[in-house]
Amino acid sequence: MSAEIDFYELLEVERTADDKVLKSAYRKLAMKFHPDKNPGCKDSEAKFKQINEAYACLSDPQKRAAYDRYGHAAFQQGGPGGGGGFAGGGDFGDLGDIFETIFGGAFGGGGGRQQARRGADLRYDMEITLEEAFHGKQAEVSVEVSEKCEPCDGSGAQPGTGARRCNLCGGHGKVRAQQGFFMVERTCPTCHGRGEVIEKPCRSCRGEGRIDAEQKLEVNIPAGVDNGTRIRLAGKGEAGPFGSPPGDLYIFLHVKRHRVFEREGTTLLTRVPISFTTAALGGEIEIPGLDGQRHAIEIPAGIQSGKQLRKRGAGMPVLQGRGTGDLVVEVQVETPTRLSARQKELLREFQATETGEECPQSKGFFERIKDVWTDLTD
């Protein structure tokens, strides 16, 4: 440090300034005195270094406390600060650390080697029947995944050998380069963020620490699952590189269309055709449910096509809960298309006895038509 100028005076702030005020003052002055904005100006370059030095100290709570108590002596060799609490001189090599403080660790939290990346998550699509969704099932799936290499135990190095520190990044896993006002940090291209280089890669995995293999897994499909339900198998995804944790496997369920039932949540819906005589006189029909039981449905006399009848508790089970939904039967009255001579004769006899009161909706409709026709002809 060429001159022991008070750090607070350099940043033009009070000694009681909080972190927000310090950061704002530093950014303003750094922009003002940056060498790129003042090319060839030695004074600006010196000022810029002093500003960096001041902010690096005051933005660190421990360094600031030592500075407030002992001043610059806290960081001089053999001084009260213990020597080495702060790298004096304000060299540009510390600029990346300063930016990490300003911008919240955007440069990797101090330039250390990267944390081990977990393996990728995998997706597996499984098709099941509505009956299987109703009862649940145990299923076996076969998935091609990357597993940890057993010979090298995921290290990527031949058994009995290890790795050396990367010469390019010095074991940090990252390299830095200054571009104008900013310090750009990226993953080391030599060690790919590990901070280590394998000299003798494992022959089985070629230094990857993982190999491709087929994995057979048992999957428990609970009763009540629906189309799109996702089941997570923790740790059954891709193995992480160089022994890092594996990802997860997600089973996505797709329920096939059923020949009889449609599903809406926990409700089962089916459409049942009935004869016009059953619709007129009433009766009873039986519907086989997915639960294996036959459910009797009472048809009230005079029911109309499209009417829905509900059977409580005969629908789908609630996923991971208690109870079941309902079975809904939608009645479709079917008009006969093939009649014997005797049937036609009976129907004509019935038709001869009609008064119009038997079908009130038809009577009402034609009365409205008559009124409309009268209005048009008047």
The CATH number that domain 120-151+209-257 falls under is: 2.60.260.20
- As given in the structure block, the two tokens for residue 375 are 């209005």
Binding residues for Zn(2+): 149, 152, 166, 169, 188, 191, 202, 205
What CATH class does 262-334 carry? mainly beta
Q: Which of 267, 344, 265, 252 is nearest to 308 (CA)?
A: 267
230-233 and 163-165 strand pairing = unpaired
For 20, half-sphere exposure in the C-beta direction (CA atoms, 13 angstrom radius) is 0
182-187 and 174-179 strand pairing = antiparallel
Find tokens 């009540």 and name the residue.
Answer: 224
Burial of 158 from C-beta contacts in 10 A (0-12 / 13-18 / 19+): middle
Binding residues: 149, 152, 166, 169, 188, 191, 202, 205
In 3-state terms, what secondary structure has residue 240? coil
Positive or negative torsion for Cα 350, 351, 356, 362:
positive
pLDDT in single tens digits along all 378 residues of the chain: 334 678 888 899 888 888 888 888 988 898 888 887 888 888 888 888 888 888 888 988 888 887 887 777 666 644 444 433 333 333 333 444 444 433 434 334 444 444 557 888 889 999 999 999 999 999 998 888 888 888 888 778 888 787 888 888 888 888 887 666 666 778 888 777 778 888 788 888 877 778 888 889 999 999 999 999 999 999 888 887 777 788 899 999 999 999 999 999 999 999 999 999 999 999 999 999 998 899 999 999 999 999 999 999 999 999 888 889 999 999 999 999 899 999 999 999 998 998 878 777 766 666 777 767 776 766
What CATH class does 7-102 carry? mainly alpha
Burial of 242 from C-beta contacts in 10 A (0-12 / 13-18 / 19+): buried
pTM exceeds cut of 0.85: no
